[in-house]
Amino acid sequence: MSNHFYLFRELTLLDRSIIHISISSESIRPTMRFSSFLTIVALLFVQSEATHSTFICTDKSKPEAKVGYCLRRINKDQDHHNKDLPPLYKKDFLVILASPAPKGPKFTCAKLDIANKPVEARFCCHFPPVSPTPPKFQAFTQADIDEFCYTRDAKRKPNHT
């Protein structure tokens, strides 16, 4: 009687591509390492696609919010030591202007970082002016983001008509 087992698993990713994973008791360690690696790669790919695709600012929920911004949450342990950043006291997010996309009235966060860390979210905002030439990085509270912005990353709610 054999003590070996086999497991076959098929995973469908968000882009509808399929990954086949097979595990046998004879090679469980390498296969599990490889499947963990594939999972991490897939998650990183999905995250980078979300923050690097183009977006438009035409939502009528906040008609004044027509400018694209890239955001990331403030890292309390590291960002407070960065002298290039604005004051962060009681702030939640670091924000930079999104780049204009090559085609049409669109924005992108591709190839942008915020104080050497990746962009985490895309928003359209209408912030009150702070100066004729705003600084590269701005810091805002969650309340500021809620008041002046709407996300371009959230899933749409179903339309009930």
More confident call, 39 vs 86: 86
Residue 46: pLDDT above 50?
Answer: no
For the chain, what percent of residues have pLDDT higher than 70?
Answer: 63
Hey, where are the domains in the chain? 6-52, 55-151
pLDDT in tens, 111-125: 999 999 999 999 999
- Is the overall model pTM greater than 0.75, yes or no? no
Alpha-carbon span 149 to 155, nearest angstrom: 16
* Burial call 78-111: b when 16+ CB within 10 Å, e when fewer: ebeeeeebeebeebbbbbbbbbebeeeebbbbee
Residue-averaged pLDDT of the chain? 77
Check pLDDT > 80 for residue 161. Answer: no
pLDDT of residue 32: 56
The rounded distance, in Å, linking the Cα atoms of 25 and 4 is: 5
pLDDT tens-digit readout, 65-103? 999 999 999 999 999 999 989 989 999 999 999 999 887
